[in-house]
């Protein structure tokens, strides 16, 4: 019975893992959505969609997408397409069962912080004759798009349905004027110290040049420079300071949704090959943490997300181990020439008679996985065995269940 329970639990875990969706793969068999799919990738909205547990994508065919994309920069197209990603599940049946015949659904555009009022929501109304209309939720907006057909659904994870025309919210197609002023945005976001360093070292020009193609900046807040343990940057050479500042930027457009799905180390502007000056990303729910090998920093807020430029604030300076080493070595203990070291010839001195040797304090754990159990006092093997089940954390338990149950599944089918 125990083995059967283990098998059922494993199959349940596997079914949960299969709920993950990939919008690019879903749309790839449909050539009529090739342009729509391409813009989802270019704007990195595909990562946002894939990171959501429940979502409905209002797909536009090539003709409708062409009318939306014409004469607009990528940043404007992203805003418009964000309005076509509903943060709820709707398929054909649900659209015709809307309570009171009309409802309002929140979209990805609402999560950007650039959508006041109902600008980031969509009005869905069940019209007469079996038609369902879509339009901006801003009062007075027309329902100038309608439901055409279901494309793909995975209840209740993702639904892709086709609508006839783009949904246009008031002002959403207004293109930004001029090029982005990075230092001005950093000053306004409370990153004046970082902005001043960019200007004094000339890295500001490097950022502006990169931003014309693709750039993501992780800007430490002013408070981050005042935090305890921050190294004295005045002791760095100019080349080292430039490398440190460039370590805070990626030569790519990587909005928050893309960061959440990043698994491999990512290169920075300071990367010079051989895995040097790379960052790794850790995700916990909706929180993203950048790890350097020396420490870590949480991605705190989005300053701007306008392809091909994205700027975030981070809680701490990103300190590459190429400049600052790994975890700092502990200070030597007081026992030196005047304090005899414990004799090598006495491997296990009696606790009651042997003098207590003086050891250096252990180095603080760096880059340890969150929730890792600390080492406890020495126990007998029997005691460890009795407590093994209680000491295993949840991720480790899942891995163990999957490993053990794999053999159970194989044995079950071979029997």
SS (H, E, C) 52-92: CCCEEEEECCHHHHHHHHCCCCHHHHHHHHHCCEECCCCCH
Query: Do 240 and 157 lie in a common domain?
Result: no
Could you give the C-alpha distances from 365 to 85, 320, 328, in angstroms and in order?
42, 17, 10
- Model's pTM, two decimal places? 0.66
- H or E element, residue 46: helix 45-50
Count of domains forming the chain: 2
Answer yes or no: are the C-beta atoms of 186 and 204 closer than 8 Å. Answer: no
pLDDT in tens, 88-122: 999 999 998 888 889 999 999 998 877 888 899 99
First-to-final CA distance of the chain: 16
Question: Coil, strand or helix: which one is 216?
Answer: strand
Question: pLDDT digit string (tens) for 333-383?
Answer: 554 444 444 444 444 444 433 333 333 344 444 443 344 333 433 343 433
**Alpha carbon distance 250, 247 (integer Å):** 8
Average pLDDT, the chain: 80
Residue 116 lies in a domain: yes
Picking from 291, 314, 337, the residue at the C-terminal end of a domain is 314
How do residues 273-326 score in pLDDT, each as one tens digit? 666 899 999 999 889 999 999 999 999 999 999 899 999 999 999 999 999 986
- Residue 266 phi/psi, 5° resolution? -115, 140
Residues 277, 279: Cα–Cα separation, whole Å: 7
User: Which of these ranges, 216-230, 231-245, 389-403, has the smallest mean pLDDT?
Assistant: 389-403
Q: Tokens 């809680």 identify what position?
A: 315
Q: What is the CATH number of the domain that holds 274?
A: 2.30.180.10
- Are residues 304 and 187 part of one domain? yes
Element (H, E) at 10: helix 2-17
The answer on 308 and 198 residing in a single domain is yes
Query: Tell me, what's the pLDDT at 183?
Result: 93
Our CA angle for 125, 131, 135, nearest 5°, is 40
Determine the pLDDT at residue 401.
45
* Residue at 42 is within a domain: yes
Same domain membership, residue 281 and residue 198: yes
**Distance from C-alpha of 313 to C-alpha of 324, rounded to nearest angstrom:** 22
For residues 210 and 108, membership in a common domain is answered with no
157 shares a domain with 44: yes
What's the pLDDT at 112? Answer: 81
**Around 305, how many Cα atoms within 13 Å sit in the side-chain half-sphere?**
24
Q: Poorest-confidence range of 121-135, 293-307, 322-336, 393-407? A: 393-407
Q: Answer yes or no: do 48 and 151 share one domain.
A: yes
Look-up of token digits 């990512």: 266
pLDDT of res. 269: 95
User: Which of residues 163, 197, 224 is at a domain's end?
Assistant: 163
- For residue range 11-61, what is the model confidence (pLDDT) as tens digits? 444 444 445 899 999 999 999 999 999 999 999 999 999 989 999 999 999
């Amino acid at each position: 019975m125990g083995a059967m329970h283990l098998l059922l639990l494993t199959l349940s875990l596997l079914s949960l893992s299969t709920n993950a969706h990939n919008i690019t793969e879903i749309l790839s068999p449909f050539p009529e959505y090739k342009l729509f799919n391409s813009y989802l990738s270019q704007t990195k909205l595909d990562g946002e969609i894939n990171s959501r547990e429940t979502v409905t994508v209002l797909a536009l065919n090539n003709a409708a997408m062409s009318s939306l994309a014409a004469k607009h920069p990528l940043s404007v197209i992203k805003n418009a397409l964000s309005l076509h990603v509903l943060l709820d599940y709707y398929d054909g049946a649900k659209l015709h069962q809307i309570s009171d015949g009309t409802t309002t659904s929140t979209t990805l555009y609402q999560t950007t912080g650039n959508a006041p009022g109902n600008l980031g929501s969509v009005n869905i109304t069940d019209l007469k004759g079996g038609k369902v209309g879509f339009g901006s939720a801003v009062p007075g907006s027309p329902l100038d798009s309608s439901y055409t057909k279901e494309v793909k659904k995975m209840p209740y994870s993702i639904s892709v349905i086709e609508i006839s025309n783009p949904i246009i919210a008031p002002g959403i197609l207004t293109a930004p004027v001029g090029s982005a002023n990075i230092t001005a945005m950093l000053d306004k976001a409370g990153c004046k110290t970082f902005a001043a360093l960019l200007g004094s070292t000339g890295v500001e020009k490097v950022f502006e040049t990169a931003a014309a193609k693709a750039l993501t900046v992780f800007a430490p807040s002013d408070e981050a420079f005042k935090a305890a343990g921050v190294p004295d940057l005045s002791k760095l050479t100019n080349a080292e300071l430039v490398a440190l500042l460039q370590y805070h930027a990626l030569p790519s457009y990587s909005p928050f949704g893309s960061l959440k799905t990043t698994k491999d180390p990512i290169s920075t502007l300071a990367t010079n090959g051989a895995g040097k000056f790379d960052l790794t990303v850790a995700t916990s729910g909706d929180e993203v943490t950048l790890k350097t090998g020396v420490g870590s920093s949480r991605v705190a807020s989005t300053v701007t997300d306008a392809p091909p430029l994205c700027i975030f604030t981070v809680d701490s300076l990103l300190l590459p181990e190429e400049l600052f080493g790994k975890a700092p070595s502990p200070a030597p203990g007081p026992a030196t020439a005047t304090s005899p070291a414990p004799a090598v010839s006495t491997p296990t001195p009696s606790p009651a008679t042997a003098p207590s040797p003086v050891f250096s304090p252990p180095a603080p754990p760096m880059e340890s996985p969150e929730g890792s159990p600390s080492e406890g006092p020495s126990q007998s093997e029997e005691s460890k065995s009795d407590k093994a089940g209680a000491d295993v954390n949840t991720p480790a338990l899942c891995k163990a269940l999957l490993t053990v149950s794999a053999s159970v599944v194989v044995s079950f089918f071979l029997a």
